[in-house]
Every structure is written in C-alpha cells, then in structure tokens.
Structure 1
Amino acid sequence: MKLAGCGLRGCRIWQKTPVTVLVTGAAGQIGYALVPMVARGLMLGPDQPVILHMLDILPNAEALNGVKMELVDAAFSLLKGVVATTDVVEACTGVNIAVMIGGFPRKEGMERKDVMSKNVSIYKAQASALEKYAAPNCKVLVVANPANTNAVILKEFAPSIPAKNITCLTRLDHNRALAQIAERLNVHVGDVKNVIIWGNHSSTQYPDVNHATVVTKDGEKQVRELVTDHQWLYGEFITAVQQRGAEIIKARKLSSALSAASSACDHMRDWVLGTSKGTWVSMGVYSDGSYGVPAGLIYSFPVTCDKGGWSILQGLKIDDFSRAKLDATATELVEEKSFAYSCLQ
C-alpha cells in the first residue's frame, strides 16, 4: 500500500498498490464487457486500484483503441492506467493477473479439434510471453475454448508459473446451474449454493446437485429434497446447463459475452478474496488425482479459496451415476490433451 491524499486538509488514507490485469482479446465481445467490470472493482474489490493491459490482434487495433477511449471517458476512480496494444510482450510485461479471452473462434462447419489445433500456436506464443515478462506469481484464467486444454498448453510453455496459478473458466457453467435450480424452485439465485461442475467446459461436463442446498424460511435444505422430479435433475437439468451457450447463440446470434465476463469476475474475485464459509465454487484447476481424476489434467472441481489460493474440496460422496459422468469427461480431456500435444510436434 501507499499513502495518498484524499483531497481534504489533514486527511490521509492508505491506498493499495495497483494490480496490473491483462485481458487478451479485449476488443471482442467478452473483453468489451469485462474491462469496465474490472475497472469498476467488480473483480478485485471496491478498494483495489488496477492498471489494465489490453491485447488484441492487429486487425482489431482500431477497435481496441476505441475501447481504451471509452475506459478513459468513463472516468473510473480505480483505473490507474490503460495499455492498449497488439504487442504480446508489451501486454504481458509486469502483469499480476491474466485473463486469456483471445483465441481462434469456432466457425460454422469446424470441429472442436480444428479450433484446438489453431489455438495451440496462439497459446504457445502468449504463454512464452507470460513466462518471460509477467510478474512473479501471476495468476492466469483461461476463458477461450477449449479452455481446459488451452490452459494445459499454456502451462507447458510457462513452466515457471506455478501449476496452482493456472486455471480455466467453468464458473459460467456453475452460475448457469445455480440459475436453473433457482428458476425451477422459484427462489432467488443467491439462496442456492454448492452446485458442482465436474470436468471439461464442453458438452461432457457434469452439473452435479447432489450436494447443493437452498436457503428457505425453514432453514437450509438439500436441492434433491426440494426438487422431487429426479428425472428432471438427471436429464433436462444437465442438458440445459450443457447446452445453454448454444441456446444463447441461437437467440442472440452471438455468443454469451455478458455472462461470461461476469463469471470471469466471479472466478477471480473468489480466488483472490476468498469464498464464503460453507460455500464452494467450480474452477478448472490442475488435478492432483482427487476423485479418481487423472493427475495433470485441467479439470473442473469444487474448490474453496482462501488467502489467494484454492483447494479442492475433499470427501464428497460420489454415487454410481456421478462416477460415470466424472470418468466420461475425464476421458475426453485425456484425448484432447493428447491431440493438443500432437499439434506441437
């Protein structure tokens, strides 16, 4: 922290040292929605100054500069500086937090593996820049799809960044699961907690409510006690969460940018500031073998966060239905990782 004047005679306050946040793909839809949230304090707290580094590709340079102009015009009191650049070295220099949104988008007719092969080279270059120029102990959140496997590639080429500092976004799926339960029970989404997204940010992900609860006027109750239609929980609910992104694209003709940006803020805020007591969230993190998931995968687990770190929640009972779902999404991630590494040859 540093001492700063507050504008009143004799008044001095402690002001935190600015945190430098990198957002790649910042001129895109998600980036455009995310950067004002960061500048307003929704990611790191209402008293944390930030410096924004925004990176995009050369064809988007003019649009990126337009985003910078808007940030300046918004006069965010927490925003202490803005860098808008197409130079990956300039973008990565000194960053404390990196939100990796930029990547090759999936286009009509493309298979998931086609996108993966394109993104391997992109993440190799960006990881190398983070490795050389980012601040020590930089925290990384990968948003661009395939997020889990992009994060694995990033770690491969940024070996000095601790494995526990590289994560991927499954908080959007987590929030979607909370919302589906809230709508089903006609309760406020803030009263629903402890859903879990297991595995890959793909159609094999497993939204699990076996341990989820709802705050009611009669106390906290299990979701499975309140939702008596177990056929819905085992079927339509899971599919609705898995396919929500496609549903939004069909409605908007564009991908889900606002909710993705908001969930990226949620992910980083809980990681840095901590989760509430008795509550866990879903994060794509490095597997240590917990719950029988192969070590070395970036896999979504239930985690708790404290003092800038995360821990996989242990000891949850996994029934046979869930076991099969956990294994299926792990198998897909093993195959994706193998394919991604073959692209590096």
Structure 2
Amino acid sequence: MMLFLSHQSEPIRVLVTGAAGQIAYTLLYRIAKGDVFGKDQPIILILLDIPPMLPVLDGVVMELQDCALPLLREIIPTDKIEVGFKDIDAAILVGSMPRKEGMEKKDLLKANVAIFKTQGAALDKYAKKTVQVVVVGNPANTNCLIALKFAPSIPKENFSCLTRLDHNRACSQVAMHCGVSSDKVKNVIIWGNHYSTQYPDVHHAIVNTHGCELGAYKAVKNDAWLHGDFILTVQQRGAAVIKARKLSSAMSAANAVCDHIKDIWFGTKEGEFISMGVYAAGNSYGIPEDLIYSFPVQIKNKRWKVVDGMSTNDFSRAKMNATAAELMEERDAALDFLT
C-alpha cells in the first residue's frame, strides 16, 4: 500500500527540447534532483528531440531512471510536438540548429525561424497559458522573439532567453581579478544580445571585499581592463571554450539555465538584479520595443521587472545601441524569412 502525504505538491510538467544533447545531459539531472524547482517539488520530465536522436534519448532515460531520484515521477521521451508541449508548466527550449562550418548567419536564422515558429505555435495550442518559456538555443534572443510572436495567447512576459551564462562569466571574471569568490560580486549587467556584441557592464556592480562593499571600478582598480579585456573575455568566452575543449560550454550553460529558472520560480534576492533577455516594450533606456533584449531585471512572483533609471555614460550607451542594432538586423532578417 502506498501512502501519499497531504502536503506533497502536485508534479509539474517540464519540457526540455534538444533533450539528447550536451546541455540537456547536465541540465536534466539538476532539474530532476530538485536544484531548480525546489527540493519538495515532484517533476514530470518531457524530453523532446528529433526522430534520429530517439535511440540516444532512450539512453538518457535509462540514466535518469538509474539515478533513482525521488522527485522524478515520470519521464516522457518523444519526437512529437503535441506530446511534448501538452499542458506543460515550463518549457526549456535548448534545441536549435547549430551553426555549421561555412554556414552564413542568415542561413542559421532561416533554419531556426522554422523551428521556433513551430514551437511557438505548439506552445500556443498545447501548453498551459501560465507556462514559463526559456529559450537557450542560439541565436537565443531572436529565436525567443519568433516563438513569442507565434504564441499570442501566452503573455509576452512569460518568455525570456538565456543571458545568465554571460552574467555568470562577468561575475566570475571580476571575482577572480579581485581575489574573492564569485558570490561576493553582484549586480553586473549584460545588455543586449547573447552574441559577440553583448555589453557586460559593471558600472553598477558591487564587490564585497574584506567585508566592505565597493563599486566594481574601485574594487578592480583597473579601468583599462574593465573597458577592454574584461569585455572581450566575456563576449568571446564561448568561442574560447570551444577552441580549448573542441565542444561547446555545456556544463556552464546548463548551470546558467538552472540559475535563470530558479530565479524565475523563487525570485531574485532583495536589492539584487540579474541579467535576462526579455521583451523590450516599455523600457526606459530607449531600446526599440519589438526585441528580446537583455536587461537588468528583478523578479517576484514569477514576474520580472526591468530595473529602470540606471545611469549610462557615453561609453555604455554606444555599446547598448550597437547590440540593439544587431538584434534589429537579426529580427528583420528572421521576419523576412517568415514572409
């Protein structure tokens, strides 16, 4: 006889696309273990991938079963959209067409427009209207925008894309430079695109060093580094990992997805903000509205709010506008493919 405790939560349905891939391999374990949605939240995992990857997905399912994780109530591997998106509470869209050697950016956009148009329509038709949608697959900002446009019945505020990996990279670089642990650095900002034009900004960041909170510029004491190599390192970190590892940064990306969703589910800490690609409507920074753009945000009750009124100097403004221009170019190219 099986007893169910009355205080136990109902399972939530979590979809991960590209579930046979590298990022998902780390991510799925973290979700099923309770690192993302809470240690008392049962999970139903829906693993969606393309038909040729189903044999690999079977192996992933076996491994998850063999972990004997008490929160994991059911695993549903599938290649069918209508199964994958049915009644889901969270959609983590990791799968996308990767850029291959010799592929032009426009070719990458064209392939992904088709994928995320289909997934947006599936969200609109099958998912709960309260679903939280996180886009990880690159080009993440534009993929997120396309999915949003094809899911008109789901609030735009329920869509976000991952720039938390860039945020974490920026925190880590500052922490290493100051000789402190990364949790001693807060309120860095990633503006714009999850691409090489992104702007890692520490003008409002705080570093806790020797028990004293200092602005990042005072703590680092090297403006030339903060305006030069620091920005380049964060912008080009993904390429550096691929060059060294011969594979993409799957572990750190999965970790960033966990951080991103956990903050959506449980909120950001008081007085702190994180970076997240969100719909730009109504922002106070003059960024064109019909974009998914990374801003500093605070989150409460699963609702994000852009932190308004942050001062920006000419150096920052130029970089914020440059990454916005790239996103407008991506958006216009993607919309052209749709028409």
Q: Where on the TM-score scale, by shorter chain, does this alignment land: which range?
A: over 0.9
Give how far 1:216 is off.
2.1
Match of 1:324 among 306, 318, 322: 318
- For 1:216 and 1:18, the matched residues in 2 are separated by 42
Structure 2 partner of 1:9: none
SS of residue matched to 1:291: coil
Alignment check: 8 A CA contact 1:285 1:301 kept: yes
Q: In structure 1, which of residues 136, 140, 155 is the aligned counterpart of residue 129 of structure 2?
A: 136
Distance 2:187 2:205 in 1: 5
TM-score by length of 1: 0.96
Deviation at residue 113 of structure 1 after TM alignment: 2.0
Code of the residue aligned with 2:321 in structure 1: it is: D
Q: Deviations over 1:64-96 (max 9, x none)?
A: 111111111111111111100011110100111
- 2:167 corresponds in structure 1 to 174
Q: Equivalent residue of 2:24, what SS?
A: helix
**Among candidates 265, 271, 278, match of residue 278 of structure 1:** 271
Q: How many residues align?
A: 337
Aligned-partner SS, 1:305: strand
Confirm or deny: 8 A CA contact 2:18 2:49 kept in the other structure.
yes
Structure-2 residue corresponding to 1:63? 56
**1:179 alignment partner AA:** S
Task: Pick one of 101, 109, 112 that aligns with 1:108.
Answer: 101
Secondary structure class of the residue paired with 2:275: strand
The answer to whether structure 1 residue 161 and structure 2 residue 154 are counterparts is yes
Q: 1:303 aligns to what SS in structure 2?
A: strand
The gaps in structure 2 that reach 5 residues or longer are none
Equivalent of residue 126 in structure 1, options 115, 119, 139: 119
Work out which of the residue numbers 186, 190, 193 in structure 1 matches 2:183.
190
- Counterpart position of 2:80: 87
Deviation at residue 127 of structure 1 after TM alignment: 1.3
User: What is the RMSD computed on CA atoms of the aligned residues?
Assistant: 1.1
Q: CA deviation at 1:217?
A: 2.4
Q: Is the 8 A contact 1:272 1:309 kept in 2?
A: no
Deviations 1:108-164 (A, max 9, x none): 122222211100111111111111111121110000000000011101111111000
Secondary structure of 1:210's counterpart equals coil
Q: Which amino acid aligns with 1:306?
A: K
| Runs (5+) with no aligned partner, structure 1 | 7-11
Instruction: Answer yes or no: is the 8 Å Cα contact 1:34–1:261 preserved in 2.
Output: yes
Counterpart check, 1:343 vs 2:325:
no
User: 209, 215, 218: which one pairs with 2:208?
Assistant: 215
Matching of residues 253-332 of structure 1 within 5 Å? 253-288=246-281, 289-332=283-326
1:75 aligns with 2:65: no
C-alpha contact (below 8 Å) 1:5/1:13 kept by paired residues: no
Give the drift of 1:13: 5.1
**Percent of paired sites with the same residue:** 52
TM-score norm. by structure 2 comes to: 0.97
CA distance in 2, matches of 1:187, 1:18: 39
Pairing partner for 1:204 from 177, 197, 219: 197
Note the C-alpha offset of 1:308.
1.0
Q: Secondary structure at the match of 2:285?
A: helix
Q: Secondary structure at the match of 2:290?
A: coil
The match for 2:142 is 149
Which residue, 40, 49, 53 being the options, matches 2:46? 53
What is the distance in 2 between the residues matched to 1:310 and 1:59?
A: 37
Q: Is the 8 A contact 1:194 1:209 kept in 2?
A: yes
Q: Which runs of 4+ in 1 moved over 6 A?
A: none
